[in-house]
């Protein structure tokens, strides 16, 4: 089996125009991964199965990446009015400003691939394949990879349920852990626990307090009608 770096070059050569990139893992494990554009995911997946030997998807999971604010120091030149030898003049000066930028967040589907035929003792490592949505609000669709690896069927349903990624082409995409009427995705990093469901009378004081506060709010709302 080839390394992730070698596979990137092989894919670009075998599939002209394919959008695939290496994602470097700086940890001691150095398990680098491949990130593929959604529009190229199915043909890359088919190549990895049929030509590179990755015949089994052992695991698929989701990742939620929030908006990220970055800042950098930027030097600019501006014209200012200054007193020079008692005479007001327009002069140029270099100033340093902090520029803030916001990188939009996104959702990511991560697939762990193996070769059952070849095994995974060195030099036959597993492979990690990634796909990203355009954002984490209203453009959260990705192609389902179940036509290539059927073992991803339930795990894509779990990702859909807990993260909200909509897998186009999945033959039975519905919630797996939460009930159908549930409106949110519990593994999102900005998910807020609800306080509108019943709790059993347990010794957990904080939970009981939240439940009591909710009941009081509901009673007050009913009384105001």
Write the DSSP string, 189-202: TT------S-----
pTM for the model stands at: 0.77
Query: What pLDDT shows up at residue 24?
Result: 92
The number of domains in the chain is 3
Given a contact cutoff of 8 angstroms between Cβ atoms, the answer to whether 186 and 163 are in contact is no
CATH number (domain holding residue 126): 3.30.460.80
Query: What pLDDT shows up at residue 99?
Result: 86
Give me 181's structure tokens. 């009427």
Q: Let me know whether 87 and 120 are in one domain.
A: no
Q: Let me know whether 8 and 60 are in one domain.
A: yes
Query: What pLDDT shows up at residue 200?
Result: 52
Which alpha helices (DSSP H) does 51-200 contain, by range?
A: 153-163
Q: Let me know whether 115 and 141 are in one domain.
A: yes
In a domain, 176, yes or no: no
Query: What pLDDT shows up at residue 198?
Result: 54
Q: What is the pLDDT along the chain (225 residues), one digit of tens a residue?
A: 688 899 999 999 999 999 999 999 888 877 899 999 999 999 999 999 999 999 999 999 999 999 988 888 888 888 878 777 777 877 788 888 888 888 999 999 999 999 988 775 555 578 999 999 999 999 999 999 999 999 999 999 999 999 999 999 999 999 999 998 888 999 999 998 876 555 455 556 777 777 788 888 888 888 887
Query: What pLDDT shows up at residue 85?
Result: 74
The number of angstroms, rounded, from the C-alpha of 61 to the middle of its chain's C-alpha atoms is: 10
- Spatial distance between the Cα atoms of 160 and 173, rounded to a whole number of angstroms: 8
Q: Let me know whether 123 and 149 are in one domain.
A: yes
Given a contact cutoff of 8 angstroms between Cβ atoms, the answer to whether 111 and 152 are in contact is yes
Give me 139's structure tokens. 């453009």
Residue 31 DSSP code: -
Q: Let me know whether 57 and 83 are in one domain.
A: no
In a domain, 206, yes or no: yes
């Amino acid at each position: 089996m080839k390394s992730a770096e070698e596979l990137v070059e092989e894919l670009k050569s075998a599939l002209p125009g394919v959008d695939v990139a290496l994602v470097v893992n700086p940890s001691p494990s150095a398990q680098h991964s491949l990130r593929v554009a959604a529009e190229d995911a199915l043909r890359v997946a088919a190549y990895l199965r049929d030509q590179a030997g990755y015949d089994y998807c052992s695991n698929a999971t989701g990742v939620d990446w929030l908006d990220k604010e970055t800042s950098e120091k930027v030097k600019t030149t501006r014209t200012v009015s200054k007193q020079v030898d008692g005479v007001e003049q327009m002069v140029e000066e270099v100033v340093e400003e902090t520029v803030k930028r916001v990188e939009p967040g996104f959702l990511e589907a991560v697939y762990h691939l193996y070769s059952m035929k070849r095994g995974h003792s060195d030099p036959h490592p597993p492979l990690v394949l990634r796909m990203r949505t355009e954002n984490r609000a209203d453009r959260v669709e990705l192609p389902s990879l179940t036509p290539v690896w059927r073992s991803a069927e339930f795990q894509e349903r779990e990702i859909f349920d807990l993260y909200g990624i909509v897998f186009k082409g999945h033959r039975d995409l519905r919630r797996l852990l939460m009930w159908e009427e549930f409106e949110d995705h519990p593994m999102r990093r900005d998910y807020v626990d609800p306080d509108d469901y019943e709790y059993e009378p347990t010794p957990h004081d904080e939970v009981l307090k939240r439940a009591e506060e909710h009941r009081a709010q509901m009673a007050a709302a009913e009384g105001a009608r």
